[in-house]
């Protein structure tokens, strides 16, 4: 199904927390090892066989559109959803709903990266009859991100906010598989956060986690952005075997 799956990438943020290290570009265009971060996500989708991509853009959208165009250079097809006003992560997805061609559909945050098995994610989502599935990875220091509490069946039963959790815990890796019905929960034309409003409302009501070992690479803070400069190339190089690139999603 991955070839028919629509992948929505949330790429509209200005990167306010990164203003000390990047200026005048959208956060997903921040350079990591000499390349815009968003390129790595598009390559990840190409390798997974997920080639129908919608970029949810907003802040300085023209920079992203001029760089990526229709996506053919990256082996995917790109369409764009332009956010005129800040609508939050859920609001941006609801705005782009007419462009979604699959149910469920995939969502990636444009400022984080985590290797994951796309086919296994789809299989678990369907087997559990989930409404939404969050890719979750265990962090040794989870307090900057908040954490997810799971039961024995990987159902999400509670969320802890930042700085309210133990150091070692599962965190949201910024990758979601959502049924279209989730967007019915989003108010039209109003800001809404999928992390802080939609997911907590779904806890215990068809929301599951899909555990992956990581690593989780985030560029949202100056310190994590700096760390990504070496972590992401190291991760990609570790998946080179005999000169052949191993899929990050298989």
What does the alpha-carbon distance between residue 199 and residue 207 come to, in Å, rounded to a whole number? 7
Catalytic residue among 4, 73, 162, 234: 162
Q: Show the tokens assigned to 61.
A: 């959208």
Which residues have CB under 8 Å from 236's CB, separation 6+? 40
Residue with tokens 């991509």: 53
Alpha carbon distance 175, 195 (integer Å): 11
Residues in the chain: 250
CA–CA distances in Å: residue 200 to residues 108, 158, 183, 184, 207: 19, 7, 14, 15, 9
CB 174 within 8 A of CB 190: no
> At a CB cut-off of 8 Å and minimum separation 6, what does 183 contact?
90, 93, 94, 97
Q: Are 116 and 174 in contact (CB under 8 A)?
A: no
Is 162 a known active-site residue? yes
User: Which string of b and e fits 114-149 if b means at least 16 CB within 10 Å?
Assistant: bbbbbeebbebbeebebbbbbbbbebeebbebbbbe
Residue numbers annotated as active site:
162
């Amino acid at each position: 199904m991955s070839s028919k799956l629509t992948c929505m990438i949330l790429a509209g943020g200005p990167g306010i927390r990164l203003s000390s290290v990047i200026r005048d570009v959208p956060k997903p265009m921040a350079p990591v090892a000499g390349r815009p971060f968003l390129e790595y996500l598009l390559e990840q989708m190409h390798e997974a066989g997920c080639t129908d991509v919608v970029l949810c853009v907003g802040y300085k959208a023209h920079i992203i559109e001029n760089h990526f165009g229709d996506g053919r250079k990256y082996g995917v097809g790109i369409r764009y959803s332009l956010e005129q006003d800040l609508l939050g992560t859920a609001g941006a997805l609801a705005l782009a709903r007419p462009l979604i061609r699959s149910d469920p559909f995939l969502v990636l945050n444009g400022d984080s990266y985590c290797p994951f098995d796309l086919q296994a994610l789809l299989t678990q989502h369907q087997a559990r009859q989930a409404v939404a599935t969050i890719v979750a990875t265990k962090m040794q220091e989870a307090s900057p991100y908040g954490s997810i509490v799971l039961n024995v069946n990987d159902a999400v039963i509670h969320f802890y906010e930042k700085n309210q959790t133990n150091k070692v815990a599962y965190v949201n890796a910024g990758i979601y598989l959502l049924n279209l019905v989730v967007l019915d929960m989003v108010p039209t034309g109003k800001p809404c956060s999928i992390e802080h409003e939609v997911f907590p409302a779904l806890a215990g009501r068809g929301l599951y986690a899909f555990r992956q070992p990581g690593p989780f690479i985030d560029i949202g803070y100056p310190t994590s952005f700096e760390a990504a400069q070496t972590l992401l190339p190291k991760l990609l190089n570790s998946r080179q075997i005999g000169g052949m690139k191993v899929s990050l999603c298989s």
